Structure 1
Amino acid sequence: MKLFNLDSPLMQFLNKVADLMWLNVLTLICCIPIVTVGPALTALHYMALKIARDEECYIARDYFKSFKLNLRQGIVIWLIELVVIILLVGDFLILRFSTISFGQPMKIVLAVVAVLVLFTFTFVYPVLAKFDNTVMRTIKNAFFIGILQFPKTILMMILSVVPAVLFVLAPQIMPIVFLFGFSVPAWADAKLYNKFFQKLEDQMNGVGQADGEAGAEGLEEAGEDERIFKDELDESIQEEPPRIGES
């Protein structure tokens, strides 16, 4: 029956579901040591973008390729993120139980800082997965992209907490969260930022929009490291800044 042909919409859908499930399990396993959360999330977004672009990929092999490639930087960025979160939470708790007169303005300032931090770390692992930069430039570029893609950044932040909210409201769906809680939001995120990333890749590769796909395929054939460029994303954004909310 055509319904069960490998190229049928049903089989393609089932294959994508299986890929996302396997990707989620790998991410959970690689997050267990805690210190490797950064490279695990980087590899997650690397694979999510491949799946969103319908690129041919081998989930386990390509996942661990990205994990290994971004191991050091992923750990450093994750530790920075962890320290920043601890400091912000600590400051909020101190202000909550403090009686100082300027406590409320300080809470507003901290809230603004927290939002900017969330904007940055929403994009930091997708940027690290696809673009080759130093740690500080990766964080800086993720911050600018988070601002430039403002509406989509908010949506991505919401998507990231949906599995946790669903688990709290309906603990019986724990098996679904276990199988898809990381990978499905990452795949949905990739769908949102794919066109924006493609524009940046095309700029770096010196190809037109029409040749973008061919350029990406050429990079994949060129070697194991598929990241696009070194230390150039911020200059590229400055040269041709996308409008806020533009795809």
Structure 2
Amino acid sequence: MDLLNENNVIHIFFNKLGDIIIANLLFILCSIPLITIGPALTAMYHCTLRTIKGNNNGTVKTFFKAFKENFVQSIIIWIAILTVDGILFLNTRFLLHENGNISRILLYLSVGVAVLSLIFTLYIFPVIATFANTLKMLCRNAFLLSFMHFPTTILMAIITIFPLYMTYIDVELLPLYACCWFFFGFSMVAFINSILLYRFFKKLLPPEEDISHL
């Protein structure tokens, strides 16, 4: 009879696993146009953060509500990130084939900006998913949080990049990786990152979190 108890560890585990799988499938579905990956990321993080907090009452409803409410801010940020990263990619490819000290300095600067872009990308969508504010303040807070909690930032970068890198280099296991990414990969990464983020996010939220995104 204890297995039917909602507070049972097994019951909680499968509930969270179900939330992760549903959030992952919804993320992929809403990312198909590519331009909407930003809003989809925000909605997925909203779901994973709620799952950790324990008030994710319906992943589908929660996902689409967050997707709609944060659509404008998220898509503006996503387009800006794509634009900056695209310029950095082309600039880096050009500078790699150039000789001279100036070209080398510009290459190092481009790599530095790319690292900052990565750090910003890791934080901005969870920040949008959690806090209601102007876009300018959300961007500012994302940068501040990333450097205030730099060890967490490094860990999040490893958690996010390493699975993608393994998928890219291990061609033999590509079908297995593709299956994992399709069913739970993206949301699992977001879930683990959310565990790290929620430790200090909750300290910044008001006591009554009903008035905030969460």
- TM-score, normalized by length of structure 2? 0.91
Structure 1, residues 43-99: CA drift from partner, whole Å, max 9, x if none?
Answer: 011111011112242100011000000111111010000001001111111101112
Amino acid in the other structure paired with 1:18: G
Cα distance in 2 for residues equivalent to 1:6 and 1:141: 37
* Contact 2:47 2:56 survives alignment (8 Å): no
2:196 corresponds, among 187, 192, 198, to 192
Q: CA deviation at 1:111?
A: 1.7
* Contact 1:20 1:180 survives alignment (8 Å): yes
Q: CA deviation at 1:193?
A: 1.2
1:114 is aligned to 114
Q: Equivalent residue of 1:181, what SS?
A: helix
2:182 corresponds, among 178, 198, 209, to 178
* Contact 2:45 2:194 survives alignment (8 Å): yes
Q: Give ranges in structure 1 of 5+ residues lacking alignment.
A: 206-211, 229-247
Structure 1, residues 166-212: CA drift from partner, whole Å, max 9, x if none?
Answer: 423221322112111111111111110112111111xxx3xxxxxx4
Amino acid in the other structure paired with 1:30: C
Percent of aligned pairs with the same amino acid? 31
Q: CA deviation at 1:133?
A: 1.9
1:26 is aligned to 26
1:227 is aligned to 213
Q: CA deviation at 1:4?
A: 4.9
| 1:162 to 1:4, Cα distance in 2 relative to 1, 3 A | farther
* Contact 1:163 1:177 survives alignment (8 Å): no
Amino acid in the other structure paired with 1:183: S
Cα distance in 2 for residues equivalent to 1:19 and 1:97: 47
Correspondence 1:14-93 to 2 at 5 A: 14-93=14-93
Deviates more, 1:179-188 or 1:93-102: 93-102
RMSD of aligned alpha carbons: 1.7
Cα distance in 1 for residues equivalent to 2:180 and 2:202: 31
Cα distance in 2 for residues equivalent to 1:172 and 1:4: 36
- TM-score, normalized by length of structure 1? 0.80
More helix by share: 2
1:167 is aligned to 167
1:241 is aligned to none
Q: Which has the higher relative contact order, 1 or 2, with Cα contacts under 8 A spaced 6 or more apart?
A: 2
* Contact 1:167 1:177 survives alignment (8 Å): no
Deviates more, 1:170-179 or 1:120-129: 170-179
2:155 counterpart of 1:136: no
Q: CA deviation at 1:2?
A: 2.6
